[in-house]
Structure formats: C-alpha cells, structure tokens
C-alpha cells in the first residue's frame, strides 16, 4: 500500500501546511546576515524586520543535496513509499538542481519525483494546500503527479512593493527598474513570468494596483471552475483586507487565503512592505 510524503523547501512555509500534516517535511534555505548564517526555520518575522530596519547585509543560499538525502531517509524510516518533492522556481534558486542531484545519490527504495513550478514562496504554498488535501484524502501517487501539473499549470504570482532595491540587490531586477520605483514614486507591479520576477506595470496608486489584481482574479473566475486565491501583505494589511472584501463581494465560490508573512529568504529579496496575490486555477 502506498504511503505518500510531500517534501518542500522552507520558502513555501508561508501557510500552515507543515503544521497541519505529518506527511510534510521541509529542507532549509539559508540566510547570511553579515557574517552569521541562519537556517530559515530559525528566523522569525521580527528578526527579519529588525535586520531590514538596521540595513544589515543579507544574502541567501540553497539547501545542499545531502539535506535532501537525509530527509529522504527520514521519510523511508517512517515507512513512506513515495515522496513528491515541490520546490520554488528553478529560475530563482539552485534548490531544484540540488534536489535532482540528491536523487542520483539517494540509495533507498522509495519512489521520488521532483518538481519545480514557475512560481515561488506563497505562490507554491497556494498549490501545496490543494496537494496536501489530496494526499490526506488518499490519492494515489500516479494521480497526485497528474494533480500537480493540473494545479500549477496556470499558477500566477503578482505583487507591488514599496521598495524595489531589495530585488535589485538580489539580482532579480535591473538597477533602472529599481530606481524607477524610488525616483518616480510609482507603484511597480511585479509578476513571475516563466519562473522569473519581472516588472510588468507601473501604477500611481495602491487603488490602481488593487484594480490590476482584481482584473487578474476576474480572468481566472471566467476561465476556471476552481480558483484558489492567496492574498499576501507585508505591513499593508489595510489593502489586503480591501482586496479580500472586493473578491468576497463579487464571488461566493472562491477559496481565499490570507498570508501576512514571507519566508526569511524572500524578506531578503522583497523587503518588508507590499501586497499582492497568488492564483491557482483549474
């Protein structure tokens, strides 16, 4: 009989997936603050707010292949026969490559299937909630892999930030794009396009940004029977609540989740002020 585990990386722990299900395990990305290295799981939101406020120099790094192997062995020791691995976009991190390498080195008997959707952080977490529910319901591993492709085929992540310099320092946006936000006092909208972060639009107000997000939600509502929305905010709760109310007033059949936290790695690259959405449609 199949016993299925779900292995994720810590950048996706923006929700309650790990806390709710004992079949979920994670591998840690790391944050280097000045000369000290931390595992993501050991850093709190308050820690990251403090580091950003103090203008600490921060960099990030991926898990090692050995960390994946150790986690595979932990799953096998607990009697798991199959493990689905879902990590953040391979265009943003070497985590996917580390996972692939670990599979070639793994000497156990479990079936291990490794995947990297074209989204990251709360965008991955949005789909993971669906997959975790299916595993709990007893889905077969064959059908779970099909479900993965269904869930993430049309994954969408978009957000606006108050300060794009974090993305520039992390190499995610050009200096010109980052300075546009600062100098012109615009509200840049960033999307994940083909697994990479890209500034796709420049707005003048948060209301205009909210309208942009609602238009995307409308597109998904028209196209898909099932739509899962994750509304994220970093110190912009008022706008997240406004967006949530707008969705609830217009639609009564959507699954809406609220996230007020990104993982430490994404605090490094995104900063600590902004709001946006993740969409899953099928």
> Are 30 and 94 contained in the same domain?
yes
Domain of residue 107, residue span: 4-152
Span 183-188, mean pLDDT?
72
For 105, list phi and psi in degrees, rounded to 5: -95, -15
Give the whole-angstrom CA distance, residue 265 versus residue 267: 5
* Residues 6 or more apart whose Cβ sits within 8 Å of residue 5: 23, 24, 25, 75, 78, 80, 82, 83, 84
Q: What's the CATH number where 250 sits?
A: 3.30.1180.10
Per-residue pLDDT, averaged over 198-212, amounts to 91
Residues 107 and 218 in one domain: no
Domain's final residue, options 152, 171, 186: 152
Residue-wise pLDDT tens digits, 146-170 = 999 999 999 999 999 876 666 666 5
Phi-psi region for residue 153, left (φ > 0), alpha (ψ -120 to 50) or beta?
alpha
| Residues 69 and 198 occupy one common structural domain | no
Do 118 and 185 fall within a single domain? no
**Residue 32 scores a pLDDT above 80:** yes
Q: Are strands 255-259 and 227-234 parallel, antiparallel or unpaired?
A: parallel
Q: Are residues 217 and 134 in the same domain?
A: no
- Binning pLDDT at 50, 70 and 90, where does residue 73 land? very high
Both 164 and 177 in one domain: the answer is yes
- Stretch 110-139: mean pLDDT: 96
Both 84 and 115 in one domain: the answer is yes
As a whole number, the mean pLDDT across the chain is 92
Average pLDDT over residues 4-15: 91
Is residue 183 scored above 70 in pLDDT? no
Pair (87, 225) in one structural domain? no
Domain boundary among 104, 127, 152: 152
Model pTM? Answer: 0.91
Q: Provide the pLDDT for residue 184.
A: 59
List the end-to-end C-alpha distance of the chain, in Å, as a whole number.
29
Number of domains in the chain: 2
137 pLDDT higher than 90: yes
Average pLDDT over residues 264-273: 89
Residue 177 has pLDDT above 70, yes or no: no
Residue 188 binned pLDDT confidence (cut-offs 50, 70, 90): confident
Q: What is the reported pLDDT for 261? A: 87
Q: Are residues 163 and 118 in the same domain?
A: no
12 lies in the same domain as 99: yes
- Whether the CA torsion 40, 42, 45, 46 is positive or negative: it is negative
- Residues 26, 130 within the same domain: yes
Residue 71: which CATH number? Answer: 3.40.50.10170
* 47 and 175 co-located in one domain: no
152, 170, 195 - which closes a domain: 152
pLDDT band at 14 (very low <50, low <70, confident <90, very high): confident
pLDDT higher than 70, residue 178: no
How confident is the model at residue 172, as a pLDDT?
55
What residues contact 11, with CB distance under 8 A and at least 6 apart?
A: 29, 40, 88, 93, 120, 121, 124, 262, 263, 265, 266
């Amino acid at each position: 009989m199949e016993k299925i585990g779900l292995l994720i990386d810590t950048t996706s722990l923006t929700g309650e997936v790990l806390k709710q299900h004992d079949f979920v395990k994670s591998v840690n990305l790391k944050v280097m603050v000045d000369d000290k290295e931390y595992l993501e799981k050991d850093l709190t939101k308050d820690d990251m707010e403090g580091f950003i406020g103090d203008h600490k120099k921060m960099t990030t790094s991926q898990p090692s292949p050995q960390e994946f192997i150790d986690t595979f062995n932990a799953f096998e020791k607990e009697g798991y026969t199959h493990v689905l691995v879902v990590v953040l976009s391979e265009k943003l991190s070497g985590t996917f490559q580390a996972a692939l390498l670990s599979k070639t080195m793994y000497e156990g008997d479990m079936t291990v299937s490794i995947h990297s959707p074209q989204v990251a952080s709360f965008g991955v977490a949005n789909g993971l909630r669906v997959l975790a529910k299916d595993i709990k319901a007893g889905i077969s591993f064959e059908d779970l892999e099909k479900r993965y492709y269904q869930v993430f085929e049309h994954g969408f992540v978009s957000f606006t930030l108050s300060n794009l310099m974090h993305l520039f320092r992390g190499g995610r946006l050009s200096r010109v794009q980052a300075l546009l936000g600062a100098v012109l006092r615009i509200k840049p909208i960033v999307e994940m396009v083909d697994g990479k972060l890209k500034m796709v639009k420049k707005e003048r107000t948060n209301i205009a940004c909210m309208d942009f997000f609602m238009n995307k939600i409308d597109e998904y509502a028209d196209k898909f029977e099932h739509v899962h929305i994750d509304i994220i905010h970093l110190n912009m709760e008022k706008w997240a609540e406004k967006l949530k109310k707008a969705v609830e007033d217009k639609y009564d059949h959507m699954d809406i989740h609220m996230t007020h936290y990104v993982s430490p790695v994404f605090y490094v690259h995104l900063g600590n002020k902004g709001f946006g959405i993740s969409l899953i449609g099928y």
